[in-house]
Structure 1
Amino acid sequence: MEQLPEKSAPSPDGASPKRVAGPQVAALAIFLAASAFVAWLGAFSTVANVNGWYVDADKAPWSPPNWLFGPVWTFLYTAMAVAAWLVWRPHRPDSRPALVTYGIQLVLNLLWTPTFFSLYPLMGTAALWLAFAIILALIVAVTVTVVRFGPISRVAGLLLLPYITWIVFASSLNLWAALNN
């Protein structure tokens, strides 16, 4: 299991363990903050519209209650941030392309929410189909991210599996909404 260096373990560059742990903790905080920022931006679209048009929308029979989305996304965004941090930590040459893919999926994640929730009142069903295209691209991007994360950190790749599962599930909800609204 991947861990921070022990207090007694010398760092590869001879720095004291406290100096090694400090940048690691700061980097983890940055990854967590980036995920929280994406979640916060997405929340604007959701909060403004989940009690608007979405209340009366024809939703899939397997749609979970609205209160479940917040806790699930909190867990997923945290797991995503920790996974990215685990890939960043070793500073391997293959970390950079993996983190670029991570950034791409984070942008797609951010685009889906306002497309689905905010554009529907303006564009109607076309917005739901556009959101469906985005979520399909998101599934591909997250899958590529898992494939790139896995060889660097198996734990990081595994941390993203609930995310893929959830967005595949969310894509079924999106498809139902596009077909039935």
Structure 2
Amino acid sequence: MNKYLSLGVFLVAVVGIGMFIGIATPPGDWYAGLAKPSFNPPNWLFAPVWTILYILIAIVGWRTWRREPAGIDMKLWFAQMALNFVWSPVFFAAHAPAAAIIIIVLLLWTIGIFIARTLKSNPPSAWMFLPYFAWVSFATLLNAAILRLN
């Protein structure tokens, strides 16, 4: 497959699925009624942040796939994608912040392992995952605070 076509596939799949999940599982009235910590960002911030992160995640997935499509790093990439995509339905649709905290901690752990594994073998991919790691760290703290407050 042409390298730019495969990049396009990764971008459309990751950003597209992420957007679909965001539209299908909006925060809604349940989330609006929850007590939130003082550091909770405004709702409008989440869509642009996640769009940028999903673009980076797609590029990293594509780079990893081109290097070793069946390797451990690609499996880690798919694992973090699965955890990422399941968090919103669990938190927002199922109204289960306790289950969501388990998912997001596993997600953060998987992202961290991916970064550690690729730091020497694929440094640009590791560096592109650092903003994702930072945002998911913040989201983990936010999830935990919402769980504690409610």
Query: TM-score, length-normalised on structure 2?
Result: 0.92
Residue 57 of structure 1 is matched in structure 2 by 34
Residue 56 of structure 2 is matched in structure 1 by 79
Which structure is larger by alpha-carbon Rg, 1 or 2?
1
% same residue = 31
Structure 1 distance, partners of 2:25, 2:41, is 15
Amino acid at match of 2:55: T
Are 1:33 and 2:2 matched, yes or no? no
Q: What whole-Å deviation, never above 9, does each CA across 1:1-47 have from its counterpart, x for those lacking one? A: xxxxxxxxxxxxxxxxxxxxx71101111111221233023213432
Are 1:166 and 2:144 matched, yes or no? no
Structure 1 distance, partners of 2:119, 2:64, is 9
Are 1:101 and 2:70 matched, yes or no? no
Are 1:146 and 2:109 matched, yes or no? no
Q: Which has the higher contact order (CA 8 A, sep 6+)?
A: 2
Greater fraction helix: 2
Contact kept in structure 1, 2:68 and 2:74, CA below 8 Å: no
Contact kept in structure 2, 1:45 and 1:117, CA below 8 Å: no
Instruction: Please provide the CA RMSD for this pair.
Output: 1.7
SS of the residue 1:63 aligns to: coil
Are 1:118 and 2:60 matched, yes or no? no
Contact kept in structure 2, 1:87 and 1:149, CA below 8 Å: no
Structure 2 distance, partners of 1:55, 1:91, is 43
SS of the residue 1:150 aligns to: helix
Change (3 A) 1:172 1:44: same
Structure 2 distance, partners of 1:87, 1:163, is 16
